[in-house]
């Protein structure tokens, strides 16, 4: 039973690390990438729809995104959603597509993005600690029910702590890379 609990905890921790890495991809670094706008949702016929389902997103230049809606009727809604987002760019609507020109990041803006990335990393660490706590509770319940011995529980808890610290280290490494990328001029 402890092995099942450990495997489940490890899977959840892997997902938490991957989620944190994907969150880092949404933080702007001065280069245009489609992941910058993927989390934007558009009100389309009364429903909230992710941008990537309504439009094709391409990068014609290093500092420019081209968003071409599949339905031209949604062009205004897409433009409005981008304008209201936290991207800090002004969309340029030509009637067929929307161009986003990303300005050079200032030092102050880079520092703000580093803070955002650090908050994302902390959220990831909190998720890891919650997974560890839940797994530990499940193992202690198994020990209380007499399914495992006290020694097995102790070994499993040490292994769980080791796995948790490995995953925290992965998040910290990803954060370090993102900070370096953000502060690079």
Mean pLDDT (whole number) for 106-133: 92
Report the chain's mean pLDDT, rounded to a whole number: 89
All domains of the chain, ordered by start, with CATH?
Answer: 2-25+106-183 (1.10.132.20), 34-101 (3.30.1360.40)
Q: Mind listing the pLDDT tens digit for each residue in 91-110?
A: 888 889 999 888 787 888 88
Q: Mind listing the pLDDT tens digit for each residue in 36-93?
A: 888 888 988 888 989 888 899 999 988 888 999 998 888 888 888 888 887 778 888 8
Mean pLDDT (whole number) for 125-129: 96
- Buried/exposed code over 145-177 (b: 16+ C-beta within 10 A; e: otherwise): eeebeeeebeebbeebeebbeebbebbeebbee
């Amino acid at each position: 039973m402890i092995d099942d609990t450990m495997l489940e905890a490890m899977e959840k921790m892997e997902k938490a690390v991957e989620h944190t890495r994907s969150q880092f991809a949404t933080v702007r670094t001065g280069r245009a990438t489609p992941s910058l706008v993927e989390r934007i949702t558009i009100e389309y016929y009364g429903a909230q729809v992710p941008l990537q389902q309504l439009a094709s997103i391409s990068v014609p230049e290093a500092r420019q995104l081209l968003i071409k809606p599949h339905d031209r009727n949604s062009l205004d809604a897409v433009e409005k959603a981008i304008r209201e987002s936290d991207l800090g760019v002004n969309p340029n609507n030509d009637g067929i597509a929307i161009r986003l020109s990303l300005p050079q990041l200032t030092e102050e803006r880079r520092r703000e993005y580093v803070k955002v990335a650090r908050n994302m990393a902390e959220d990831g660490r909190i998720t890891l600690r919650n997974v560890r706590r839940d797994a530990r509770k499940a193992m202690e319940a198994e020990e209380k029910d007499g399914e495992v011995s006290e020694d097995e529980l102790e070994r499993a808890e040490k292994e769980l702590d080791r796995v948790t610290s490995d995953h925290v280290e992965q998040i910290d490494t990803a954060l370090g890379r993102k900070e370096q990328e953000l502060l690079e001029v």
